[in-house]
Amino acid sequence: MRNGQRSRQVPFRSPSAHGGRTAPYSGFAGIATVVALAAWSLAAPTTSADPLPATCEGNHFVASWTASPTDALAPLDALGGPVPLGLVNQTLRMIISPHLGGSQARIHLSNRFGTTPVTFGSVTAGIQSDGSTADGIVRVTFDGAPGVTIAPGRDAVSDPVSITFRAFEPLALTLYVPGPTGSPTKHWNANATSYYAPAGSGDLTEHGADQQFSSTTNSWFYVNGLDVMAPASTRSVVAFGDSITDGFVGGSPVSVPADATVADVDGRYPDNLQRRLDAAGIPISVVNSGIGSNRLLTSGEPLMLGPRGLDRFRKDALEQAGVGGILVLEGINDLGLPPVATADAMIAGYQRIIAETHAAGKKIWLATILPASNALVDGTVLAPGSEDSRQQINRWIRDQDLADGVVDFDVALRDPNNPSILLSSYSGPDNLHPNLVGYQAMADAIDLGMLDSATRTC
């Protein structure tokens, strides 16, 4: 037990002060996605820019939006649309929805999974007005320069930029890449529509509207974070996990392609949780560090499934700006995809990230694993022991007193007449990922007071 009463519910290094400079970073439910990606497709140690240190007095930067990066070898996005496997003299306009508004921000770019240096010749930020059109465009600099070159395996963070926006007001982050780049680092399932111009079209970063942004994608390229200057009382909470945290809704019994109707609605459980916190007046920004098909114990490269949770936890969770706590929902892919993990190995993994979080002076809450015994992948058809292991792990999560609290997503979403499956009204067609109603139920199952107990450390 830490910092008083433990909450329960039932129904790598020190940050660097050098913004924009690169620094080293040490170190499956997207689920049926694995099967489809293997048909579609044919890692390196990562490095990154550490966040600027926060001070406990006065305003500080707080993570407002994140997208955990992965490798980019798959030629299709989550909707089945083609994506560029390299960029040459072209511009990307990435559309994101921040969870925390403000008037000063900084942008994170990643070449964490690139094989060659990537130069961003120009970067701008603006407010999306409609489609690929942006208003109020401002230039973004890096150590005072209009662009930045990022080495393979590294990230960069921009200088602070003055731009005023509200929570959930879509921003257009526009990147000009002279190229050639090689495989771009990206986040595979954005659940959002972004745009890019064809190769050879040049620098369009300051164009508010341009017909050359003619291609759309359901992936985010290179952009992996946005921080906002906020009052001292504001902090971030990281939702860490797999495609269920990422908000994937399957479009078929085999999950892929994703359900196109959920794009651009911000219906992930962390989005709905953010709305609840805002309505309650609690100054917390919930950021999403989910990766489709990610696992806690086994890495998923080169199919864009990301490094295992144990290896990416520090960068994708603990080092987010202003973080006070992390909510972890991860494990269903470890149980359903080979090599199948044992319950004991999973519990040891949870114990490791709990210890790592507490050593960093932050809180951590564990969520029970959702049922999926009738799913094609991660279910008992292909992984006969997955349900027994899930039950064993969930019993341990409920009974342990190492973490600072428990969120019982299992109880909240399971069918009371058959606890090994999702309630049909909460389930997508793959019987693995919740639908939008299910993601709302997940957000509703979280005790806001538990999250509010987290404070950032300085």
Beta strands in 293-425 (DSSP E): 323-329, 363-367, 405-407, 414-415, 418-422
Task: Return d(Cα 327, Cα 384) in angstroms, integer.
Answer: 28
Task: Return d(Cα 432, Cα 292) in angstroms, integer.
Answer: 12
Contact 163, 94 (CB under 8 A): no
Task: Return d(Cα 304, Cα 300) in angstroms, integer.
Answer: 7
Instruction: Check residue 458 and give its pLDDT.
Output: 66
Supply the DSSP symbol for 260.
Answer: G
Which residues, at least 6 apart from 355, have a Cβ–Cβ distance to it below 8 Å? none
CATH topology of domain 7-14+231-452: Rossmann fold (3.40.50)
Q: Mean pLDDT of successive 10-residue segments in the chain (458 residues)?
A: 42 31 34 37 35 66 98 86 94 99 99 95 98 98 98 98 99 98 94 98 97 97 99 98 98 95 98 99 99 95 83 98 99 96 99 99 99 94 95 99 99 98 98 99 99 87
Task: Return d(Cα 26, Cα 318) in angstroms, integer.
Answer: 13
Domain ranges of the chain: 7-14+231-452, 69-225
Tokens found for residue 387: 């349900």
At position 145, the amino acid (one-letter code) is A
Q: Which of 157, 183, 181 is nearest to 44 (CA)?
A: 183
Q: What number of residues does the chain have?
A: 458
The 3-class secondary structure across 395-440, one letter per residue, is HHHHHCCCCCEEECHHHHHEECCEEEEECHHHECCCCCCECHHHHH
Q: Which of 128, 140, 142 is nearest to 93 (CA)?
A: 128
Instruction: Check residue 457 and give its pLDDT.
Output: 72
Task: Return d(Cα 10, Cα 413) in angstroms, integer.
Answer: 11
pTM here is 0.89
Contact 126, 134 (CB under 8 A): yes
Tokens found for residue 305: 């499934």
Instruction: Check residue 18 and give its pLDDT.
Output: 32
Q: Which of 68, 73, 185 is nearest to 118 (CA)?
A: 185
Task: Return d(Cα 288, Cα 329) in angstroms, integer.
Answer: 11
Which helix (H) or strand (E) segment is 328 a member of?
A: strand 323-329
Q: Which of 153, 146, 144 is nearest to 174 (CA)?
A: 146
Q: Which of 50, 171, 204, 18 is nearest to 103 (CA)?
A: 171
Task: Return d(Cα 429, Cα 435) in angstroms, integer.
Answer: 8
Q: Which of 249, 312, 332 is nearest to 28 (CA)?
A: 332
Supply the DSSP symbol for 16.
Answer: P
Contact 267, 37 (CB under 8 A): no
| DSSP-assigned states of every residue in 185-200 | PEES--SS-EEEPPTT
Supply the DSSP symbol for 316.
Answer: I
Q: Which of 185, 30, 61 is nearest to 117 (CA)?
A: 185
Contact 273, 446 (CB under 8 A): yes
